[in-house]
Amino acid sequence: MSLSLIYSSFPWLSLAIWMPVFSGSLIIYLGKQDSKFSITNIKFLSLFFSLVSFILTMLPVFLFDSNKDAFQLVEKFTWFSRFNIEYFFGVDGISLWFIPLTAFMTIIVVVAGWEVIKSKVSLYMGSFLILSGLMIGVFSALDGLLFYLFFEATLIPMYLIIGIWGGPKRVYAAFKFFLYTFLGSVLALLAIIYLYVDSNSFSIIDWHILPINLNIQIYLFMAFFLAFAVKIPMWPVHTWLPDAHVEAPTGGSIVLAAIMLKLGAYGFLRFSLPITPDASQFFSPIIIGISLVAIIYIGLVALVQTDMKKLVAYSSVAHMGFVSLGFFLFSNLGINGGIFQMISHGFISGAMFFSIGVLYDRMHSREISDYGGVANKMPIFAVFFVFFAMSNAGLPGTSGFVGEFFVILGALEINFWLGLLSALTLILGAAYSLWLVKRVIFGEVTNENVAKLADLNRREFFIMTVLALFVLIIGVKPNLLTDKMDVSINRLIDQLEYGKDFAIEERADPNIINEQLNVNFFNRASK
């Protein structure tokens, strides 16, 4: 049994995945030392392939029917028949927007590194293109083993990006990033193997309707939770993220914050909640508690940072805590707000790290104390920086407000005090964002290096303008995103409600399971 599938007559998803992977490999090959390809040609070729990749990822958005409760643009055929491993891709409303977001951020990274990256340019550009394809594979995979392969493969290019083009402690940061995320993922692999043995299938959709008693669900949930919590990252396994951000080049920080953190949150939506609904209910108070710690405590930690990148990195941990809080409220508002926050944070955090990169390229310092009065010398930059900082704080009219507002409303529906505690993120977000603005942008120029600063060039102005427009557009018109998500979110809530409605001993009875599945899924899919 499975949910309804709508197959594609053309392999759009395969093209969106493998085109950047192969084009990135080609760029690395063309950039060999003995190649006649110039660095300029490498850059333009990288930009061309990233633009083509973005166009390819936008086509599924236009082809997607938001009224149908089904996985769409499905590509499915047997890969390894011996183990029932399938080449199985598809998208629903939950995964749809992350695919073009990934491709879009790759364009930003290519343009951002245009004048900054001086060494191994082809390897740098090629790594980001390959990484883009692998991350799209994560968001599209409907085979559990295929998901895991893409999920782990993303570590390789990011490890190289941090380790080669990072700061003085780049090797330490790269190792810490790799070990934390890899060790967490090993447990997810064990859970995937168990589900295969129990179902004789690697299909994630089959796992969604697999009858599992509570005790087994608890073990599976814990395995998936540790893997995805490290990736998000959630408190207290977040310590690798500030180190990775501080040492990573600007492009690495943009992709890490905008996309890679979302892989863990997406794992919750695709694995933890639908496969182990009872265990998700069982652990929800703990997850909500951890999320509140991330929102409040990490927000306070961000206030005392002296490094701009570390401040924004801790801000990302706090905002992703908001995402996990929304998911485990088990409501339409909460899950909608969590997904919207993921997308919004992609644009805002990417913009913040790019802004810091602009200053670093000029001053070669990330220390807040080295700045002050930047607005006097870079007024255009100051306008953008203040805007993105306000968006990060959740200013109404920007995308940063919408997701947080939805989650707070969802929390208030459950408990007033929960809503109040979650709303503290608006106060803390404003505190560390405005404190950063005050120390960097405003005041008198006291550093002679600040006095020599030049304002944005055309390349930097273009990037910041595009990012600002996206933050404004989806902030003013959030339904552009939410309309395509609603049906899939409702299906997920049905799965979670199913876990609520039935006693644990009843869930152990396959007859009851199958009867209820027929009601909840097939009738819904036929509408």
Tens of pLDDT along the chain (527 residues)? 346 677 877 888 899 999 999 999 999 888 876 566 678 888 899 999 999 999 999 988 888 888 888 888 888 888 887 878 888 899 988 888 999 999 999 999 999 888 888 888 888 899 999 999 999 999 999 998 999 999 999 988 888 888 888 778 888 888 888 888 888 788 889 999 999 988 888 888 888 888 888 888 899 999 999 888 888 888 887 887 787 877 888 888 888 888 888 888 899 999 888 888 888 888 888 999 888 888 888 888 888 888 888 898 888 888 888 888 988 888 888 899 999 999 998 899 899 989 998 888 888 888 888 888 888 888 999 999 999 999 988 888 899 888 888 888 888 888 888 888 888 878 888 888 889 898 888 878 878 888 888 888 888 899 999 999 999 999 999 988 888 888 888 888 887 776 544 433 444 444 444 444 344 333 333 43
* Distance between CA atoms of residues 369 and 304, nearest Å: 12
429 assigned to some structural domain: yes
- The residue to which tokens 């002679």 are assigned: 448
Can you give the residue range of the structural domain that contains 328?
276-476
Closest CA to 265 of 326, 195, 180: 326
Instruction: Classify 357 as helix, strand or coil.
Output: helix
Residue 453 pLDDT: 83
Domain total of the chain: 1
The answer to the question of residue 441 being in a domain is yes
Q: Kindly state whether residue 45 falls inside one of the protein's structural domains.
A: no
pTM: 0.87
Residue 138 counted as domain residue: no
Q: What is the DSSP string of 269-328?
A: IIIIHHHSHHHHHHHHHHHHHHHHHHHHHHHHHHHT-SBHHHHHHHHHHHHHHHHHHHHT
With residue 16 as reference, give the H or E element that holds it.
Answer: helix 12-30
Q: Is residue 430 in a domain?
A: yes
Q: Is 391 exposed, middle or buried (0-12, 13-18, 19+ CB in 10 A)?
A: buried
Tokens for 20?
């950047």
Residue whose structure tokens are 């701009």 = 308
Note whether residue 331 is domain-resident. Answer: yes
Q: Which residues face 77 on adjacent strands?
A: 87
The confidence score (pLDDT) of residue 512 equals 43
The structure tokens listed for 323 are 């995402």
Residue 342 covered by a domain: yes
Tell me if 175 is assigned to some domain: no
**CA–CA separation, 49 vs 20, rounded Å?**
7
Cα separation of 253 and 44, whole Å?
22
